[in-house]
A and B are shown apart, each in its own frame.
Chain A
């Protein structure tokens, strides 16, 4: 046990007992292990093929072909304390597995044109609450998955400016479940499951500028994507006497994945030291209403329009990388994001609040071509609210840990 060990331990312990709060819907920012080590920032400091997604314009300053694959298991735990009964209910969500695969290519060394493919999961969440929890009639489980496939091209205009863009195909699925407050003769409650495959399209643009060797600036814009469920399937389990009121059948719906605008700065006074700062603007205002339109309506099954009224938010992220030697990089960072969910609209799907988080990371090059990056992310979010639609009132506390790992091969 040396001093370093103790420092790390103390840092972790402080993080774990930090009671600060909160923020950002179902966005998942686990895109690059290096960024995950540096507070999820670094869009202006291209490092590997993950730049295809983080800022496509920056890729043209990486003189290499590169393949990167990474995964970040997310261990998330939500606890809801109902204010009136003073009872705690917990989530037992499965481990989330955001992943990313990037391939970036050039036709010759130092080529002005770069092309590549980015496949990752910048949005999604699976949350499942314990059986019989007090909010069971609002939600028992939500699984939201979106895989972004983005073919990308980038071009170096001058030695200081690069631009890039990609077309995004988002394939996803949604599975929403809740109990229905009707009981059969044994007292068992009804259940509703709304499931469907969704698809959406968007784009990703980036411009990168390095006025000097020490400073670089990046601006990128990922468009909003409307995930449409044209052929959802609604399945209801209810007492026989009410089967006619809850007919199984199709439904349609739509869920917006908001735009993300990122202004990034990177400063590296010497090769062993880099500081990065990213400012995100996330267009959550797009999430105004969650609507379900059922193919067959009855007096018990009407189309629903639940107001969400999210607000667009800013998030600030920053981190540092130190390279004690050429093959080793140590990273630390953190950030703060404002919550897009206004008071009165917090739901069990996204029990979100303003978010403060910390990250650690390490990178190690085994040789010129092959390197491994690992990161660790921690956040604790608390949010108290009374939902205006369901009157569910209490405090959500979320703790999320996300250790991530990626391998990279370049040539």
Chain B
């Protein structure tokens, strides 16, 4: 009996031993992170507002910390990239756009019909000042994203010249000139700032959106697109060649983003062309007005009326499928003052099929040049257009539906153009995918759900 008892005890002991031995937790066998053929000693992100973290129609600190540049660098840090240095805005997160307005947040707004609903509203009466320099010779920025930066601005010495009215205040505050004013009166370019005090070893370049976007945002009425040909500083292609050549000559490797179809952004797609809903009475009255011109309206949804100088003697016509209304349109006038029906929408609020064709062709031409030169220099190409198109169609990311729907789509910020932190993380993954493929590296993708989306009140 004594013997049996001791055996029983042994079994209990063995079971307990087994439990503690393995502690019954699965082991993590993660793939190793490797930089492959790139050296991340000095990483610099080059680009426009997307790289800078401009979102909700302002540059503000939280956006900067969750920018394409910052998220990309966070992942690159896993394979050796250094600390992130952003030209940070104030910690109060008020932000500023080029008109010195604060960021947008989602708030309540009562429209002309008296209906209160969620809508983007300014966070504060006034935005942050952009005049104070944030340049420091100690810590070189790892993020040279500048809101509004075009490909053709890279070597421009007037871009940061505060004496010129058209200068870029976002760049001026971070440029070395602000700290050490040039005696010659010549201001330094973005590119000079990037190369100042040592070349980077690896770059991300995401430029070109700003070469077409201001034109599109004006309804194709002003801010002409950068021409494809012309000297560096004037033409898109030579500006790009100049930059790529500089990098290549210094043995700097890079990942270059192509330009998405900006007309798929919610700023252009939120208001449907045929959102003119009419009852009997309204349809009849519009038929009276436009009947003589040969336009007819029916009960239900109808296309909005727009100004188009090319459209007959009166320069007015209904929109056709595929044409876009911009989010800058005065919505209250549309809802309550027959804007878009009795009064046609002005050209600046509309992109017609011809204008869209022009913009899209220009983007295709830019992209062809980007791919060609990137391939020539052996740079990785991040096909951002595919990502934006996928977003336009909608997809599910780890259980979360993402799309380019305004506010509810989860990827765009409240300006309908720039991505929010989650969108930036998804975009950063496009760049990482390209780096991994071209440079045989193994950099894990960012968890986009770790990054926030729109905040609701």
A399 to B446, CA, bound (A): 28
CB-defined contacts of B429 to chain A, threshold 8 Å: 84
**Beta-carbon contacts of A77-108 to B below 8 Å, as 1s and 0s?**
11101101111101000000000000000000
Partner of A137, one of B11, B21, B22, B399: B399
Least Cβ distance of A37 to chain B in Å?
A: 11
- Minimal Cβ-Cβ distance residue in B for A392: B398
Q: Are B395 and A391 in contact (CB under 8 A)?
A: yes
Least Cβ distance of A199 to chain B in Å?
A: 30
Interface residues in B412-457 by Cβ distance below 8 A to A read 429, 444-447, 449-450, 452-457
Best-surrounded residue of B10, B14, B118 (most CB of chain A within 10 A): B14
Partner of B456, one of A17, A77, A81, A184: A184
Least Cβ distance of B433 to chain A in Å?
A: 9
Least Cβ distance of B170 to chain A in Å?
A: 26
A186 to B455, CA, bound (A): 8
A89 to B397, CA, bound (A): 17
A53 to B108, CA, bound (A): 61
Q: Are B24 and A401 in contact (CB under 8 A)?
A: yes
The answer, yes or no, to whether A326 is at the interface (CB within 8 Å) is no
A399 to B26, CA, bound (A): 6
CB-defined contacts of B354 to chain A, threshold 8 Å: none
CB-defined contacts of B24 to chain A, threshold 8 Å: 75, 77, 399-401
A4 to B454, CA, bound (A): 63
Partner of B453, one of A181, A328, A399: A181
A362 to B5, CA, bound (A): 13
CB-defined contacts of A185 to chain B, threshold 8 Å: 455-457
Q: Are A398 and B26 in contact (CB under 8 A)?
A: yes
A184 to B457, CA, bound (A): 6
CB-defined contacts of B13 to chain A, threshold 8 Å: 5
Partner of A183, one of B4, B446, B450, B453: B453
The answer, yes or no, to whether A301 is at the interface (CB within 8 Å) is no
Partner of B4, one of A328, A378, A391: A328
Main secondary structure of the interface of B (DSSP, over half): mixed
CB-defined contacts of A79 to chain B, threshold 8 Å: 25-26, 28
The answer, yes or no, to whether B295 is at the interface (CB within 8 Å) is no
CB-defined contacts of A214 to chain B, threshold 8 Å: none
Partner of B449, one of A8, A77, A136: A136
Least Cβ distance of B187 to chain A in Å?
A: 40
CB-defined contacts of A328 to chain B, threshold 8 Å: 4
The answer, yes or no, to whether A57 is at the interface (CB within 8 Å) is no
The answer, yes or no, to whether A9 is at the interface (CB within 8 Å) is yes
The answer, yes or no, to whether A322 is at the interface (CB within 8 Å) is no
Q: Are B21 and A84 in contact (CB under 8 A)?
A: no
Least Cβ distance of A53 to chain B in Å?
A: 26
Q: Are A90 and B25 in contact (CB under 8 A)?
A: yes
Q: Are A187 and B455 in contact (CB under 8 A)?
A: yes
Q: Are A85 and B8 in contact (CB under 8 A)?
A: no
Q: Are B400 and A241 in contact (CB under 8 A)?
A: no
The range of chain B's interface size is 35 or more
CB-defined contacts of B8 to chain A, threshold 8 Å: 362, 364
Q: Are B398 and A135 in contact (CB under 8 A)?
A: yes
Q: Are A16 and B18 in contact (CB under 8 A)?
A: yes
Interface residues in B355-409 by Cβ distance below 8 A to A read 395-401
Q: Are A134 and B398 in contact (CB under 8 A)?
A: yes
The answer, yes or no, to whether A390 is at the interface (CB within 8 Å) is yes
CB-defined contacts of A389 to chain B, threshold 8 Å: 396
- Minimal Cβ-Cβ distance residue in B for A76: B24
The range of chain A's interface size is 35 or more
Partner of A401, one of B19, B31, B452: B19
Q: Are B14 and A86 in contact (CB under 8 A)?
A: no
A134 to B449, CA, bound (A): 7
Q: Are B11 and A86 in contact (CB under 8 A)?
A: no
A9 to B17, CA, bound (A): 8
Q: Are A16 and B11 in contact (CB under 8 A)?
A: no
The answer, yes or no, to whether A110 is at the interface (CB within 8 Å) is no
The answer, yes or no, to whether A138 is at the interface (CB within 8 Å) is yes
The answer, yes or no, to whether A403 is at the interface (CB within 8 Å) is yes
A95 to B240, CA, bound (A): 61
Least Cβ distance of B219 to chain A in Å?
A: 31
The answer, yes or no, to whether B112 is at the interface (CB within 8 Å) is no
- Minimal Cβ-Cβ distance residue in A for B7: A4
The answer, yes or no, to whether A36 is at the interface (CB within 8 Å) is no
CB-defined contacts of A9 to chain B, threshold 8 Å: 14, 17-18
Q: Are B457 and A134 in contact (CB under 8 A)?
A: no
Least Cβ distance of B437 to chain A in Å?
A: 14
A94 to B109, CA, bound (A): 46
- Minimal Cβ-Cβ distance residue in A for B446: A85
Least Cβ distance of A158 to chain B in Å?
A: 40
- Minimal Cβ-Cβ distance residue in A for B442: A86
Given known A13-B21, A84-B444, A392-B399, contact A239–B456 (CB-CB < 8 A): yes
The answer, yes or no, to whether B288 is at the interface (CB within 8 Å) is no
Given known A79-B26, A135-B398, A137-B400, contact A242–B456 (CB-CB < 8 A): yes
CB-defined contacts of A137 to chain B, threshold 8 Å: 398-400, 449
Partner of A5, one of B10, B401, B455: B10
The answer, yes or no, to whether A291 is at the interface (CB within 8 Å) is no
A250 to B14, CA, bound (A): 50
Least Cβ distance of B5 to chain A in Å?
A: 10
The answer, yes or no, to whether A240 is at the interface (CB within 8 Å) is yes
Least Cβ distance of A35 to chain B in Å?
A: 18
A13 to B14, CA, bound (A): 10
Interface residues in A185-222 by Cβ distance below 8 A to B read 185-187
A16 to B26, CA, bound (A): 10
A134 to B447, CA, bound (A): 7
Least Cβ distance of B419 to chain A in Å?
A: 16
Least Cβ distance of A196 to chain B in Å?
A: 22
Q: Are A88 and B28 in contact (CB under 8 A)?
A: yes
Q: Are A241 and B118 in contact (CB under 8 A)?
A: yes
The answer, yes or no, to whether B340 is at the interface (CB within 8 Å) is no
CB-defined contacts of A15 to chain B, threshold 8 Å: 18
Q: Are B457 and A77 in contact (CB under 8 A)?
A: no
The answer, yes or no, to whether A12 is at the interface (CB within 8 Å) is yes
The answer, yes or no, to whether A376 is at the interface (CB within 8 Å) is yes
The answer, yes or no, to whether A182 is at the interface (CB within 8 Å) is yes
Q: Are B398 and A390 in contact (CB under 8 A)?
A: yes
A364 to B29, CA, bound (A): 42
Given known A85-B444, A183-B453, A241-B457, contact A12–B14 (CB-CB < 8 A): yes
The answer, yes or no, to whether B410 is at the interface (CB within 8 Å) is yes
- Minimal Cβ-Cβ distance residue in B for A87: B447
The answer, yes or no, to whether A177 is at the interface (CB within 8 Å) is no
A377 to B129, CA, bound (A): 67
- Minimal Cβ-Cβ distance residue in A for B445: A84
Given known A12-B18, A85-B446, A86-B33, contact A239–B396 (CB-CB < 8 A): no
A134 to B118, CA, bound (A): 29
- Minimal Cβ-Cβ distance residue in A for B18: A12
Least Cβ distance of B91 to chain A in Å?
A: 16
25 examples of A-B residue contacts, CB within 8 angstroms: A2-B10, A8-B11, A13-B18, A15-B18, A16-B22, A75-B24, A77-B24, A82-B447, A84-B445, A85-B447, A86-B33, A86-B444, A87-B30, A88-B28, A136-B399, A137-B398, A178-B399, A181-B449, A183-B452, A184-B455, A187-B452, A241-B108, A380-B26, A399-B26, A401-B24
Known A187-B452, A380-B26; further 5 A-B contacts with Cβ < 8 A: A9-B14, A75-B24, A77-B26, A86-B444, A181-B399
Give the 10 A-B residue pairs with the shortest CB-CB distance, closest first. Answer: A137-B399, A12-B18, A397-B26, A239-B456, A138-B399, A390-B399, A79-B26, A16-B22, A86-B444, A84-B445
